[in-house]
Structure 1
């Protein structure tokens, strides 16, 4: 089975890497954003522009992602929804979201949000590095290979 890769694209730093892996492996890519984004003109890349409503892109992806699909996102609540639907979910830094770790990721995200709302200076995410990009490429490639070897869902 060849997976579909859904990209939560508004702030995704690894779109080019997704295109590279998908082109090599023959995957369909769906790039979902709240505004128009330039994407390569390839038959296997689909651009979806959703309304600018709160979580519109997340809702669109979560309604379609499931077993046999890969979701690329740094958004922990979206990752949680997609993991629960059976999708393979990878952060742009290459870290996979899993059923066993998604609860802790959500709790940490919620704690940090509460601290920021209370006025605590929490910094922000660390800068995105070449090592993150490389880790993502490896994680995406492994996920595609694993899903292609999986028997089709009946």
Structure 2
């Protein structure tokens, strides 16, 4: 089992949690991004820079993902592709994507894209909050504890 991170838009506080979790649980964490990422020295943490381009990081994550892996992303199409490969997907706010909810999320994303394309200001997600970080930490800890029992 490995953790793959869509790192371009991942909040720093989440990356820091993942670095600590990698060391504590001795699990491989790979951050994938279009830009260079500094990571702490660790045999469990790796940063992978992909060429810049539309969805290059997403494509690499999907290529690398295997059943049982954990993918960290807020990108709904990437979440859908990772779920298809049998990975589990957690967004940085601590919400799980699942086979049961992914189609609804894809549909809502498409509706919002259509509204924006027609000139309607849909706002955007709320700023990342400390509560979001706590929710993520709790879900990550539960996931890693389940993995340790296997």
The structure with higher relative contact order (CA 8 Å, sep 6+) is 1
Structure 1 partner of 2:55:
55
**For the residues of structure 1 that align with 2:7 and 2:68, how far apart are their CA atoms?**
20
C-alpha displacement of 1:11: 1.0
* 1:93–1:128 CA contact under 8 A, matched in 2: yes
Matching of residue 90 in structure 1 with residue 93 in structure 2? no
**For the residues of structure 2 that align with 1:81 and 1:147, how far apart are their CA atoms?**
22
Unaligned runs of 5+ in 1: none
**For the residues of structure 1 that align with 2:62 and 2:147, how far apart are their CA atoms?**
19
Aligned partner of residue 121 in structure 2, secondary structure: coil
Unaligned runs of 5+ in 2: none
After superposing on structure 2, the runs of 4+ consecutive aligned residues of structure 1 that deviate more than 6 Å are none
* 2:23–2:42 CA contact under 8 A, matched in 1: no
Q: CA RMSD in A?
A: 1.0
**For the residues of structure 2 that align with 1:105 and 1:147, how far apart are their CA atoms?**
27
- The TM-score normalised by the length of structure 1 is 0.92
* 2:27–2:44 CA contact under 8 A, matched in 1: yes
**For the residues of structure 2 that align with 1:149 and 1:59, how far apart are their CA atoms?**
31
Aligned partner of residue 51 in structure 1, secondary structure: coil
